[in-house]
Amino acid sequence: MRDLKKAKRVMLLLIVAGNLFSANLLAQSPDQIVIKKPGLYPEGLVYHKETKTFYTTSIAKGKIVKVTKTGKVTVFADDRDLVSIVGLEIDTKRNRLIVCNSDPGVSIKSSEKTKGKLASVVLYNLKTGKREKFIDLAAIAPKGGHLANDVTVDKKGNFYITDSFSPIIYKVTKKGKATIFVNDERLRAPAGTFGLNGLTYHPKGFLLAAVYNGGKLFKIPLNNPSNIIEVELGNKPFPTIDGVLLLDNNTIALACNNFTGAEFLSAVYKVQTNNNWNSASTTATFKTGNTFPTTLTKAGNSIYVIYGKLPLLFGGNNPMAQEFEITKVKF
């Protein structure tokens, strides 16, 4: 009888341990994290592996929030100069968060002074949340419309920012000096549409930059930015490209969406090359439904995409979206 009781206790401990192990695995890599913040309308997404936390932005409220894997949301930054926060990136070596600050005209902080003209990057200390630097990119650009959209960091700590309303990519050194890295008509979209959007650094020394309208992808060498080539994408299934995420040297993931919902289904696409990004082809699709996926990030071995639901915001915010999702991409 004593042995039977001992066996039952052992079995019970094994069951409890198994349940805890399963729960731990779920906490490490959940399929979906729900952000229950009505009217947030996130756009950018990045994962901080040291704290196991996502950072995301708000187009509508001009703030940056932290999201745990259980969905707990806390405000990281909400200072007066933030209008609409778009893309963001972590500079791990310098322990800072780099965010793109713009004004497409739908924020509670929008104004005639900044609407369609604001393009800046703001640097925050990751540990303290303190703002370290505000860099006005529009101040060094030609007159016209400007909107800082996405940012990527190279191995030297320089970072690059796309301008959706001008055919410009900016370069900012790790010390904060800003210049125009490239200004090329091949990167311009028709007036009234979004142009340059997602951006990623490739360790072989070039950028891969997306133009939203038309779904184009360009390869731009860091040592010769005038030598731009358009990546031949063949029979691509998408007419827009928003977020761009490098998965390995020969593979990227693209978040593609639209405002009409009629032309094609929003989705994340896996795109691969066999000739160093002179051309590439779509090899897998993850359908997202009518959610407007915008930006992607890696969390360990998993890929996550943020569902921004931006057509509701740009359509008048009636009805207001009540919650937003960070979803694991499964190709």
The structure tokens 């929030």 sit at 65
Handedness of CA 165, 216, 85, 259 (dihedral sign): positive
pLDDT at 30: 95
User: Are 73 and 35 a contacting pair, CB within 8 Å?
Assistant: yes
> Could you tell me where the beta strands, DSSP code E, fall in 226-277?
229-230, 244-248, 251-256, 267-272
β-bridge mates for residue 229, sequence order: 219
Nearest partner of 237 among 199, 173, 283, 172, judged by Cα: 283
Instruction: Please state, in angstroms and as integers, the Cα–Cα distance from residue 286 to each residue in 47, 67, 240, following that order.
Output: 20, 23, 15
pLDDT at 11: 47
Report residue 155 as tokens.
Answer: 């191995």
What are the tens digits of pLDDT across the range 72-104? Answer: 999 999 999 999 999 999 999 999 999 999 999
Q: With H, G, I as helix, E, B as strand and everything else as coil, classify residue 300.
A: coil
pLDDT at 29: 78
User: Are 79 and 97 a contacting pair, CB within 8 Å?
Assistant: no
User: Are 107 and 62 a contacting pair, CB within 8 Å?
Assistant: yes
- How many Å apart are CA 296 and CA 284, to the nearest integer? 16
pLDDT at 20: 40
What are the tens digits of pLDDT across the range 173-231? Answer: 999 999 999 999 999 988 888 999 999 999 999 999 999 999 999 999 999 999 999 99
pLDDT at 3: 56
pLDDT at 19: 45
